[in-house]
Structure 1
Amino acid sequence: MMEENPYAGILEVVRTDADARSASPWVIGTVAATAPLTVMLGGIPLSGADLLVNPQLLPHEETAALSELKGSLEGSPAVSVTNGSLGGKALLGGVLVPGDRVAMLASADGQQYVVICKVVSA
């Protein structure tokens, strides 16, 4: 009868641990809905507290200022030029729609995902 090599068990434990640690924290999810934002990851819907989202991907308000303007400007809602400068805010819609793919980074405990950006195939 051959004795079992005691180091084989240790090697197996080290390999299993290394495999678990080598899993990439980056994942690709698919947007299922935008209000509220829901991302599918491996058949599991993530939303609410599951996600931390880059605010540029969501509907948001942007402030803009233009200077050295001349003449008149028309817009809706009404805008005006004062002392050659235009100032205002615009409500911008989110850039995500259902079916979009997003790059996400998993938290250390795998309980939350940070939605970094929209990704497309080249």
Structure 2
Amino acid sequence: MESEDVVLALAALAQSTRLEVFRLLVKHEPEGLAAGDIARALAVPQNTMSSHLSVLSRARLVSAERSGRSIVYRAELSQFRAVMLFMLRDCCEGRPEVCAPLIEDLAPCCLPKPRKKAHV
């Protein structure tokens, strides 16, 4: 990943509405949300939301797909992952002890949920 791509992604997320859009789309993975639904959920006018979605799309943090009369947006988690990995690898400079506390903080929130046992 190039530094320019990371800057573009971080700049896109450095605005509160766009950050909320991305977070909302992550919660609705993998099905995504229609642009109008995103605008309503965040109480943002549709033309303003269109601008925000365009910025996130240029940063490759969201993708769009036409579904009938709607455009459904999805979070591009692989791009977000690449940005985060770039930041971690760059800041650690080969010293895992620098990033180990961050990784430990992330682990509890990212563990798979335990499966419920079936009653026999």
TM-score range, shorter chain: under 0.3
Which structure shows the bigger proportion of residues in strand conformation?
Answer: 1
The two structures have a TM-score, normalised by structure 2, of 0.19
Higher normalized helix content (fraction of residues): 2
User: Relative contact order (alpha carbons < 8 A, sep ≥ 6): 1 or 2 greater?
Assistant: 1
